Amino acid sequence: MVAAHVADALGGIPATVVVEPTALTVEQVVSVARHGAPVQLSPRTIAALDTARTHVETHAASDTAIYGVSTGFGALASTRIDVDLRDTLQHSLVRSHAAGSGPEVEEEVVRALMLLRLHTFATGHTGVRAKTAQLYADMINARITPVVHEFGSLGCSGDLAPLAHCALAAIGEGRVRDGSGTLRPAAEALAHAGLQPVTLSAKEGLALINGTDGMLGMLCLALCDLSVLATTADITCAMSVEALLGTDRVFADDLQAVRPHPGQRASAHNLRTLLANSAIVASHRGADCSDVQDAYSLRCAPQVAGAVRATIAHAADVAGIELASAVDNPVVLTDGRIESNGNFHGAPVGFVLDFLAIAAADLGSISERRTDRLLDPARNQGLPAFLGDSPGVDSGLMIAQYTQAAIVSELKRLAAPASVDSIPSSAMQEDHVSMGWSAARKLRRSIDALTRVLAIEAMTAARALDLRAPLAPAPATAAVVERLRKAVPGPGDDRWLAPEIQATVDLLLTDELRNAVQTVTGPLA
């Protein structure tokens, strides 16, 4: 899987993220995970950690049955653990649960889940010691990234195996990637960074692994990427509408106000802005134009893109609540009680991860339909077949659309929800799970796929706009074509297309096409 790294609005040297007992933001998560921002524990955080730890130590020395402190885990929750074995219990937990398998997960995902686990510590509801939390902060700052594997989380009782691999590194075991990306034993990487592994105490092992941080981290990264791609989709759509001699009248705000979804109006506003002062659009605006209305893939673009934006907004609301939460079991309450709960269940996050995959699939689907229309001489308003230089001799962009169609079909498969599945574990104690980690992993593949679909539409529409000469496109869409032409040649004889597709993908990943537009239009919605 190619990781999606669509650029966001952050630039320059990222500011230090101060980890407080209060909520993190999506932007802070992305800054640390993707851009290497350092983290720092605030005095309030240290105080909250110390207070909660006092409660844990009081209970750990007693005979009170507390899950994971004086008992075993999962189906072994009824097994009492002697006081002198309770620290050993925590190390055994981490070692046994670090049972992931498959390819390594991307660095940005691991950094995100470590930051989010650190934030949960900071709330004062987990009972970990300040020194343990500080080690997580130090590992993040030293860019020591534990090796986490693709498979191992059922998204309930937290992302257990992924988080256990991070905890394993914190106790000086397992493998990590250092700041240069070199694979090293954890103990060696810690020593090289001047850090000491931690010896876990009561409840700490459980607190290190019992959270939904992996799926939430991937949700935060996805929200950043999809917000950019939603605007990029408006840009590629405007290029296609223009190249297909479509009308901009259907994007008028008074028409959108009749059905006033905010995302729909934002998308329509972008389309009007992008198509402003287009000589191509103006050329067929007169009374002699016989086309009554455009195809759905053009006319209904704001409705589909608006629904995508609404889905992103809903997912952001869920993320906001999760970023203000302490996900652990049991939790330390302010009155000193340590209580079991079900807050580790990943359903809230899993559902929106699946919802976003559906939205990405449909945004890709409508993009592919516009591309197909641009290439079909029966529907592309007088352009050459497949935009080839000499149709018959040249196949033009015919097979680029095949590639796009194959990716769209993959997007549809990825839209099948993971969160409707559940598989019992731990001798039926954990008999209903969220599969939120799986939903997050496939959403990352969806984002990569959507980026490629939009890139092929941009490349195709740009060639079509070139073929409309001498009519000039709008200044905004012309800026896209101009930037694209620095990396991808214009119309001509058939040539090797794979590098051109990848070059266009790279322009989307680095956000250069959107930036080119915004130098003309100002910020788009």
- Where in the sequence numbering do the catalytic residues fall? 67
The total of other beta-carbon atoms located within 10 Å of residue 101's CB is 9
Quickly tell me which residue has 């008028």 as its tokens: 252
Beta carbons within 10 angstroms of residue 254's beta carbon = 6
Angstrom CA distances, 510 to 10, 44, 227, 462, stand at 12, 38, 14, 18
Does an H or E element contain 338, and which?
strand 338-339
Nearest to 135 by CA among 126, 147, 144, 127: 144
Cis peptide before 330 (omega within 30 of 0): yes
Distance CA 435, CA 417 (A): 9
| Continuous H helices in 22-63 | 26-35, 43-60
Over its C-alpha atoms, the chain yields an Rg (Å, rounded) of 26
CB atoms within 10 A of CB 33: 26
Taken as a whole, the chain contains a residue count of: 525
H or E element in which residue 149 lies: strand 149-151
DSSP letter for 76, please.
G
Spatial CA neighbour of 216 closest among 445, 24, 417, 411: 24
Helix axis angle, 436-467 relative to 498-509, nearest 10°?
A: 110
Phi, then psi, of 198 in degrees rounded to 5: -95, 145
Q: CB–CB of 476/521 below 8 Å?
A: yes
Residue 326's CB is within 10 A of a number of other CB atoms, namely 18
The amino acid at residue 515 is N
Can you tell me the distance from the alpha carbon of 506 to that of 501, in angstroms, rounded to the nearest whole number?
A: 9
Cis peptide before 470 (omega within 30 of 0): yes
Asked if 310 contacts 261 with a C-beta cutoff of 8 angstroms, the reply is yes
Is 90 within 8 Å of 161 (Cβ atoms)?
no
Question: What is the C-alpha to C-alpha distance for residues 435 and 437, in angstroms, rounded to an integer?
Answer: 6
Element at 146 (helix H, strand E): strand 145-146
Residue 151 in 3-state DSSP? strand
Q: Are 201 and 166 contacting, i.e. CB atoms less than 8 angstroms apart?
A: no
Tokens in use for 167?
Answer: 């905890």
